[in-house]
A and B are shown apart, each in its own frame.
Chain A
Amino acid sequence: MIELAWLIPVFPVIGVLINGLFGKQVGEKAGPIASVMAGLSFLVVLGIAFEMIFGAGGSHTVPLWTWVEAGSFSASMSFLIDPLSTIMLLVVAGVGFLVHVYAVGYMHGDPGYPRFFTYLNLFMLSMFLLVLGDNYLVMFVGWEGVGLCSYLLIGFWYEKQSASDAGKKAFIVNRIGDAGFLLGMFLIWTLTGSLTYTEVFKAAPEMSAAMASAVGLLLFVGAIGKSAQIPLYVWLPDAMEGPTPVSALIHAATMVTAGVYMVARTSPIYVMGPDAMSVIAVVGALTGLFAASIGLVQNDIKRVLAYSTVSQLGFMFMALGVGAFTAGIFHLMTHAFFKGLLFLGSGSVIHALHHAPEEQQQDMRYMGGLKDKMPITYWTFLIGAVAIAGVPPLAGFWSKDEILANAFFTGHYTVWIMGTVAAFMTAFYMFRLIFMTFHGEMRVDHHAREYIHESPATMTVPLVILAVLSVIGGVIPGFPPEAGWIHRFLAPSLAKVPAGGHAMDQGVHLMNAAAGGGHSGPAVVFLIILAIAVALGGIALAWYMYVKDTDAPGRLYERFTGIYRLLLEKYYIDEIYQACIVEPTYKLMRGLWTFDAKVVDGAVNGSSLITVVSSRFSGIFDLRTVDGAVNGTASFIRFFSQVFKYLQSGMVQNYLFVMLLGIFVMLSAYLFR
């Protein structure tokens, strides 16, 4: 079965070709066709996973063709099946298939229906390449490919200026990250002479800490872009302009986790570069806390989930940064279940409010009391919320607890505290969302009320399946903590931080040893109790503020207006970027354009070339530039009127004359020396 891995991306290609080339003819069948293709890929993935989990396991390369070869550089189009890629494939293909089925219902009646499914299949293809590649170059193909699909799907409703703006922003911000990824690849190649994982990782232990950190940081720049971490997270909230199934699949469950996958994949290098790891841990923790705080006050249902995603990705990077690679991937998986579920659930709500005024469809202030009208959506959503809040035994608890415990036991106490506070906020904003959307009195526009309905089966069945996964998806692979199945399964793929490798760890290990050794004893019990308390505390606070004493938010607003505005306006980061980066770039580009037309071209046009060039060096720029351009224009006219005269008398002769003159000058220079 494993040797059939090449089939996985082939099905989406077929889907892209059918729906892309014959979209008009296919029409409403585009959805089912794309879904079947995603389903077939999922079947192959299941077969491979079965073999990997119950069979031999290990790591298998499936070579396809030599792709780029240039002297000593070589990279092939080859796939790698190992435990890490197996887990990723299961998540991508599984959630991907469910979202396809969901979208058949959700996108029904949209004029761009075939186009939507073409993009969705194209996304599956790219994501498969990203995960399957056996070297960084193939990963990069998928990496940029998913970026393209993200661009296309965010801007799917392209008539809307905000949508096409958001798509463009996503692509360009991601490109900044990709530039870092590219440089990281170049450095890897100069250091190891290869981009193939197995060869690179064989050479990794020889790397100096400085070089390993440099590689790690450059690659992490890529991850920051793709996985929306500080300071490049700004594209993800805007990406909510895309259709909701896209938000679920690309901007929650799969694409945005590519950075996490990439860092985990590169773990053999990261463990050699502790500085890079520390940076990752800190960036992850900062992002986790920062995004969660913004999520506290947002009113757009999808924006809450978007900031929540940024925050949860921060958790994953926290895990990677403290060396808990397995916990990071584990959280990636559980997050795919519950965040996919939450997004699809929010899509179900938006779908139901289709007849409300457009600006109210996603605004929770115009929702409320929906729980009886759409019970399946409500109950599955509730399960997702409990899961992400971290209440045992649901999925989120197991993975999040491992992350926080690892931060604690490796001595990253600041990271641990930030993570715990973020976890509290998570529980709060999720239940704020639940209470505002589904409980209390209905605030929906009167005209839209009668149209509120539970979504069709193609939408609710995926919700139910994801809800089931959100319940059992943590405890089954993750129990007992730190020693569950997923740890054993992933162990061959992920490197371990060498014992005593981190100076800080050393002390902690000694402390632990003194306290009775390992991650056991009272500390563990304390952490578990604290985690549960934090989750329940957040839920309770949300209940108090949005169910029990509904005036509380208003009172808080009165007292902390400044902070509230700051959070609501997302710390004004977008405005700051606009003022500090975007506007200056525009200014620069306009300035250069004027410079090009007036100065560079002016110099060419004018016989006063020397004046301009020397003024450029003498630095008296403004005065002479303007002057020079003016002089230039005048002499330019004179010059060309001369030329026209020559032209009439036959240009070619003159030209030949110049040529001969040149020969003559050269010859005489040579002969008379």
Chain B
Amino acid sequence: MSNMPLLTLITFLPALGAVIIMLFMKKEQTKAIKGFATAVVVLDFLISLPLWFSFDQSEAGFQFVEKVSWIPTIGVSYFVGIDGISVLLVLLTTLTMIVGVVCSFTAIEEREKEYYVCLLLLATGMLGTFIALDIFLFYVFFEITLVPMYFLIGVWGGPRKLYAAIKFFLYTLFGSVLMLLGILAYYFANFKMGTGTLTFDLVELYAVGPKIPLSLQIWIFLAFFIGFAIKVPMFPFHTWLPDAHVEAPTAGSVILAGILLKMGTYGFVRFALPLLPQASHVFVPFMVLLSIIGIIYGALVAMAQTDIKKLVAYSSVSHLGFVMLGIFALNEQGVLGGQLQMINHGISTGALFLLVGVVYERRHTRLISDYGGLSKVVPVFTVIFAITMLSSIGLPGLNGFVGEFLILIGAFKKSYVYAAFAVIGIVLGAAYMLWLFQRVFFGNLDNPENEKLTDCNAREVLYLLPLVILMFWIGLYPKPFLGRMEASVKKVVKMVNVAEAPQKAALGKMTKLEK
């Protein structure tokens, strides 16, 4: 078992599936293509389960590691592995892929072969991003995801699909080019001041972090920041997101919200914090400011939306503001909360997009004003939507609360001012979601077109149910999730605070002298 290249298998199985579909299946065989794609993602999920069960919680470092030299002259290797930071993201990805494939059966009716090929390629890109421990490799995967997503939006999207797809592509590309500059700068800085070797090996580079002079760290941080902040997206780099979400097909939105955005927040935890510890501290006020603006601004703009999908998209800006706030609290509670909230957001917002997709497929409208009084005709849908909404607004007992709570307590520990502003977000969060719910589900059923709406069918319930179960599970018993992440989060927090320690000691001396 231990010799099996499990991560490689998990990552490349979808790509292999895509190749098989591309080469051996005719585009008329839509049923077979759907069946095969489903089989691939289910199998992929099944083989990713050992990551949950055999994961060693006490180990802070990387597990399931595989390392093969790739381009030795410039120090690039195929180096993969997971730790507490990435394990749940990998599992969330394999789970979300099943949901993404299954929810597309009836929603996508043209060029189905290419569609499933794109989905599967996207899976490989995302999984690779989360398991790569070589920065160059990470970058390659990070960029690969752009291409299938670009096509998903551009080909199978809504009326303004081309605009949205190009905007998505160029905007995130712009960010990642800057990020590449940052990576290269770090690479050479390491050569000059660190290990003295040319390497992209993350484990080696981790040891270098504090040695890089602060002035250089700040520049590299800015480069990373642009790359990741656009992906997250943080205010004010978020405007590509609503367009992409609105135009993308349901599965595209679910994957975008559930996984792709997490590549940005993950990037901060995996690279920015440990590689640039001093700079991370310098940027705390800046990052927190943007996060809090994102939380409040995102919520207020969400409130103003008339399109359900856009509303959910802006709610993501608000939620990811929470995640970023937690990460830049730079303490265990904050980072752990941020990590958990990444998963939570993937589950809740993913489910919200799925639910929007369910009614969109029937009514072909996403305007809130076209709905009203739905709870009468679609009770099951209403209940699932209600639970998801409550999870999204952080009701205790459901998943969102645990993450939000830890983030806020971490922020409070850093400075009570941060938490005091951030809690405004939980009030506004309740406001826009409840208002949406009221307008869609309550009141009279006054639009005759809604009278014949059919409730969720078995397939829809089937792909929503796992998400609902996860909402309760994480909400009531988050220990298996937090436990798996804790050791690695502690390590990251220690790494980012290692630079603080001497400063604090110096400060301590000064105060002693004053006495």
Q: What residues of chain A have their CB less than 8 Å away from a CB belonging to chain B?
A: 65-73, 137, 140-141, 143-145, 148, 151, 155, 158-159, 161, 164-165, 168, 171-172, 175-176, 178-179, 182-183, 185-187, 189-190, 585, 588-590, 592-593, 596, 600-601, 603-605, 640, 643-644, 647, 651-652, 655, 658-659, 662-663, 665-667, 670
Contact = CB atoms under 8 A, between A and B. Distances in A.
Interface string B432-475: 00110010011110000000000000000000000000000000
B406 A68 contact: yes
A251 B495 CA distance: 51
A667 B305 CA distance: 47
A585 B336 CA distance: 33
B443 A164 contact: yes
Interface of B, secondary structure class, is helix
User: Which DSSP category, helix, strand, loop or mixed, fits chain A's interface?
Assistant: helix
B163 A73 contact: no
B325 to A, nearest CB: 13
Nearest to B180: A662
Nearest to A140: B396
B44 interface: no
B423 A182 contact: yes
Nearest to B191: A670
B406 A593 contact: no
Nearest to B411: A186
Contact of A663 (B184, B435, B444, B483): B184
A137 B406 CA distance: 12
Contact of A592 (B297, B401, B476): B297
A185 B482 CA distance: 21
Contacts of A67: 476-479
B420 A596 contact: no
A314 to B, nearest CB: 24
A655 B166 contact: no
A604 B230 CA distance: 12
B419 to A, nearest CB: 6
B171 A604 contact: yes
Interface of B: 143, 147, 163, 166-167, 169-171, 173, 177, 180-181, 184-185, 188, 236, 238-240, 297, 300-301, 303-305, 331-333, 336-337, 373, 375, 390, 395-397, 401-402, 405-406, 408-409, 412-413, 416, 419-420, 423-424, 426-427, 430-431, 434-435, 438, 441-444, 476-479, 482-483, 486, 490
A168 B416 contact: no
Given A144-B396, A190-B412, A592-B301, A640 B147 contact: no
Given A183-B416, A643-B166, A659-B177, A71 B426 contact: no
B239 A600 contact: yes
Contacts of B177: 658-659, 662
B409 A175 contact: no
Contacts of A155: 438, 442
Contact of A183 (B301, B333, B423, B483): B423
Contact of A172 (B171, B402, B408, B430): B430
B424 to A, nearest CB: 7
B396 A145 contact: yes
B435 A168 contact: yes
A260 to B, nearest CB: 21
Contacts of B301: 589, 592-593, 596
B395 A172 contact: no
A658 B486 CA distance: 39
A186 B163 CA distance: 45
Nearest to B304: A593
Given A65-B477, A71-B331, 6 more contacts: A158-B442, A185-B409, A589-B301, A592-B297, A644-B166, A655-B173
Contacts of B402: 68
7 contacts: A68-B478, A69-B486, A159-B444, A190-B413, A592-B304, A604-B239, A647-B166
A604 B240 contact: yes
B396 A186 contact: no
B35 to A, nearest CB: 31
A604 B373 CA distance: 38
B442 A71 contact: no
Contacts of B434: 151, 168, 171-172
B337 A148 contact: no
B438 A145 contact: no
Nearest to B150: A651
Nearest to A152: B386
A144 B395 contact: yes
A137 B413 CA distance: 17
Given A179-B427, A600-B236, A643-B166, A168 B438 contact: yes
A70 B406 contact: yes
Contacts of B401: 144
B430 A175 contact: yes
Given A140-B396, A145-B396, A145-B397, A73 B477 contact: no
A73 B413 CA distance: 11
Contact of B409 (A143, A148, A186, A605): A186
Contacts of A190: 412-413
B173 to A, nearest CB: 7
A148 B395 contact: yes
Given A589-B300, A589-B303, A589-B304, A176 B420 contact: no
Contacts of B170: 643
A646 B236 CA distance: 27
Contacts of A164: 438, 442-443
Contacts of A662: 177, 180-181, 184
Contact of A179 (B188, B416, B423): B423
A495 to B, nearest CB: 25
A609 to B, nearest CB: 11
Contact of A175 (B163, B333, B427, B476): B427
A151 B169 CA distance: 43
Interface centre among B185, B297, B301, B420 (most CB of A within 10 A): B301
A70 B482 contact: yes
Contacts of A65: 477
B420 A183 contact: yes
Given A164-B438, A604-B171, A70 B239 contact: no
Contact of B406 (A73, A175, A588, A603): A73
The listed residue with most A CB atoms (<10 A of its CB), out of B185, B405, B420, B478, is B405
